[in-house]
Structure 1
Amino acid sequence: MKTTIAKVGNYVEQEVTIGAWLANKRSSGKIAFLQLRDGTGFIQGVVVKAEVGEEAFQAAKNLTQESSLYVTGTVRADDRAPSGYELTVTKVEVIHEATDYPITPKEHGTEFLMDHRHLWLRSKRQHAVMKVRNEIIRATYEFFNQNDFAKVDPPILTGSAPEGTTELFATKYFDEDAYLSQSGQLYMEAAAMALGRVFSFGPTFRAEKSKTRRHLIEFWMIEPEMAFVEFDESLEIQEQYVSYLAKSVLENCQLELKTLGRDTEKLEKVQAPFPRISYDDAITFLHEKGFDDIKWGDDFGAPHETAIAEHYDKPVFITHYPTSLKPFYMQPDANREDVVLCADLIAPEGYGEIIGGSERIHSYELLEQRINEHNLSLDTYQWYLDLRKYGSVPHSGFGLGLERTVAWLSGVEHVRESIPFPRLLNRLYP
């Protein structure tokens, strides 16, 4: 019976064949232990010389790292094995013998591993991170489908920018200027006026020359937009969504979290509702913590966000930022013109902002005023203004950065490990 490592539990005490690669091996006298992987998981294959014969045993002992093979053997339950199963090997058929595999079981430097990212992905740790990423994506679709959101795909090539063009990659669109999208939000607002509740999931690009462990040049965003949803209701949907992601990862990635050494007790605390602190109170809090350099009207940096996050054991919303700090489309507070109805969701443990969101301006006159104040072209944004001209309604939305969320939930230190092929300030290879 041909199967995969993930499904061997269905064939205990039965003989199966698995297509696999040799991740590692060791031998002691008359027994060889093969660490096998097939993409779905890892399993140990035990080759006993007395059971397979001299020729087959020597073939198993001589296997090289990352050689591909078909392995046939009997599935055994084994409580000591991470997956709970082991394979008693009866036959090994080599498909391709790998030689001089560059990533050996010793320690390697980050730059070396990044240069070999196409191979580093095969390692147990990177495999675990990618499985967590996949679970977050699966749970994202599940959550929004269950809550009556329609998936909509905004364009990647755009003629304008929702947050200004200073950090965009410019290109030519025949004889026009175009940009790689930094957000699908404006288009998602149009979709929400047609479909009510929508979400997008796709790549976004920021030409931001940042080298921090939180930044990528190309990253993936989940961006919901919701008609007839005001600020407070949007926050409730955000915390329900993030709680759903944490719960799904805890339930479906236990082995991966164990491989990564993740403290799951911290993730178990990620349950709605989340604490909320206003920007005003956050400034006061930071002053009390000795951050004398920050003043009202300044944006928060990583140390500020971390200090606030450390005060709580679950994600925290920072709300009502100064109007001057935020993009032109955010709805002002009805009681205070100097702040907007927005919130950043800060993850615990120093992972920073994972969501930015707001209620959007729904007044044509106010949006037109904001576009002028930001020195943007009214002609370029006329289609966006049209949304306020023909049946405008209160509406809200947010964007969740996938890679920061993967890094946080899996517990890896740097976002470069949370995407298959990271694009960093000085890295476009492989």
Structure 2
Amino acid sequence: MKTTISEAGKYVEQTVTMGSWLANKRSSGKIVFLQLRDGTGFIQGVVVKAEVGEEIFARAKELTQESSLFVTGTVREDERAPSGYELTVTDIDVIQLAEDYPITPKEHGTEFLMDHRHLWLRSKKQHAIMKIRNEIIRATYEFFNEQGFTKVDPPILTGSSAEGTTNLFHTKYFDEDAYLSQSGQLYMEAAAMAFGKVFSFGPTFRAEKSKTRRHLIEFWMIEPEMAFMDHEESLVVQENYVSFVIQAVLKNCPLELKVLDRDTEKLEKMSAPFPRITYDEAIEFLQNEGHEIEWGEDFGAPHETAIAESYNQPVFIINYPKDIKAFYMKPHPDREDIVLCADLIAPEGYGEIIGGSQRIDDQELMKQRYDEHNLSLESYQWYLDLRKYGSVPHSGFGLGLERTVAWISGTEHVRETIPFPRLLNRLYP
């Protein structure tokens, strides 16, 4: 019976064959212990010389790290094994003997590992992070599909900026200027006017010359947009979504969380509703804590960390000053100097994972914003049309996948949360 490591529990005391790679091995006289992996998981194969004979035992002894093989054996229950099972090997069919695999079970520098990212992905820790990433993506689709959202894919090549910033990657689109998308939000607003509730999931690009552990040049975002929904209702969707994803990871990735030594007790406390403080309250708190920050300034990493440390949950900071937020955010009904927006700050120093707001739905006010931000009416006429033809109150948000993976998995740097990270000094491999 051919199967995978993740399915081994279905075949206890039965003989199975698995395609696998050798992650590591150790020998104890007349027994060889093979640490096997196949992409679905890890299992130990035990080769006993007295049971398999000289030829097969010799094959086991000659196996090198990352050699590929078909291994046949009997699945046994083993409480000591991380998965609860091990394999008593009866036969080995070597596919390829790997030579001089560069990532050995010793300490390697970060740059060396990044140069060998295509191989580093095979390691147990990286495997666990990617499995958690996959579960977050799977749970995202489940959540929004169950909530009646339609997935719509915005373009990656655009003729204008979503945020009105200059941090864009420029390219030529035949005889026009084009940019790599920094957000699909504006297009998702158009989609929401057609489908009501929509979400996108795709790559975004920021040409920011940042080297912090929170930043990537290319990253993935989940961007829902909702018609007939105000800011307060959007916050409820956001906290329910994040809670749903956390519970999915706790339920479906216990082995991966264990491999990463993640403190799951902290994650188990993360459930909606999340606490909320205003920008005004956050400024006052920071000033009282000795931070040099004035009203009207945006928060940096130390500020977000200080605020998050006051809670054991993610915390919403709401109602930022208009002048430090994007042109499309709706003004607060009681104050012209602030907007109906929120950033969700993850605990444990992981920073902002969601930014969202209610969008301006008034055509004249949006024209005014165009003037204030020097936006071309020609380039943004289509976006203005959304306020001209059947405008409605609408809200949306964007969640950065890699920061969320880093937080939930307990990974310090976002470069480990994406298969092939693009950093300021890295375009290889």
> TM-score by structure 2 length?
1.00
- The equivalent of 2:355 in structure 1 is 356
Report % sequence identity: 79
For the aligned residue pairs, the C-alpha RMSD in angstroms reads: 0.4
- The equivalent of 1:391 in structure 2 is 390
Aligned letter for 1:346?
Answer: I
- The equivalent of 2:329 in structure 1 is 330
- Written as runs of structure 1 = structure 2, the 5 A alignment for 1:343-382 is 343-382=342-381
- The equivalent of 1:149 in structure 2 is 149
- Cα distance in 2, alignment partners of residues 46 and 168 from structure 1: 54
- The equivalent of 1:225 in structure 2 is 225
Partner SS state of residue 210, structure 1: coil
Shift of 1:54: 1.2
Partner SS state of residue 380, structure 1: helix
- The equivalent of 2:293 in structure 1 is 294
- Cα distance in 1, alignment partners of residues 46 and 333 from structure 2: 69
Aligned letter for 1:95?
Answer: I
- Cα distance in 1, alignment partners of residues 426 and 258 from structure 2: 30
Aligned letter for 1:120?
Answer: W
CA shift digits 1:65-121 (9 cap, x unpaired):
000000000000000000000000000000011000000000000000000000000
Shift of 1:288: 1.1
CA shift digits 1:274-323 (9 cap, x unpaired):
000000000000011110x2000000000000000000001000000000
Judge conservation of contact 2:5–2:42 (CA < 8 Å) in 1.
Answer: yes
Judge conservation of contact 2:5–2:41 (CA < 8 Å) in 1.
Answer: yes
Indicate yes or no: 2:254 matched with 1:254. Answer: yes
- The equivalent of 1:5 in structure 2 is 5
Aligned letter for 1:250?
Answer: L
- Cα distance in 1, alignment partners of residues 253 and 190 from structure 2: 36
- Written as runs of structure 1 = structure 2, the 5 A alignment for 1:156-305 is 156-291=156-291, 293-305=292-304
Shift of 1:358: 0.1
Change over 3 Å in CA distance of 1:286–1:208 after alignment to 2: same
Shift of 1:357: 0.2
> TM-score by structure 1 length?
0.99
Judge conservation of contact 2:224–2:398 (CA < 8 Å) in 1.
Answer: yes
- Cα distance in 2, alignment partners of residues 9 and 48 from structure 1: 22
Runs of 5+ unmatched residues, structure 2: none
- The equivalent of 2:73 in structure 1 is 73
- Cα distance in 2, alignment partners of residues 136 and 357 from structure 1: 19
Shift of 1:164: 1.9
- Cα distance in 1, alignment partners of residues 162 and 128 from structure 2: 35
Shift of 1:162: 1.1
- Cα distance in 2, alignment partners of residues 122 and 21 from structure 1: 10
- The equivalent of 1:317 in structure 2 is 316
Shift of 1:165: 4.1
- Cα distance in 1, alignment partners of residues 222 and 270 from structure 2: 19
Shift of 1:126: 0.1
Shift of 1:58: 1.4
- Cα distance in 2, alignment partners of residues 282 and 143 from structure 1: 31
- Written as runs of structure 1 = structure 2, the 5 A alignment for 1:36-55 is 36-55=36-55
- The equivalent of 1:17 in structure 2 is 17
- Cα distance in 1, alignment partners of residues 23 and 211 from structure 2: 32
Judge conservation of contact 2:164–2:327 (CA < 8 Å) in 1.
Answer: no
Partner SS state of residue 285, structure 1: helix
Aligned letter for 1:394?
Answer: P
Shift of 1:192: 0.0
- Cα distance in 2, alignment partners of residues 6 and 28 from structure 1: 27
- The equivalent of 2:133 in structure 1 is 133
Partner SS state of residue 171, structure 1: strand
- Cα distance in 2, alignment partners of residues 31 and 359 from structure 1: 65
- Cα distance in 2, alignment partners of residues 290 and 325 from structure 1: 22
- The equivalent of 2:341 in structure 1 is 342
- Cα distance in 1, alignment partners of residues 371 and 260 from structure 2: 50
Runs of 5+ unmatched residues, structure 1: none
- Cα distance in 2, alignment partners of residues 85 and 371 from structure 1: 62
Shift of 1:35: 0.1
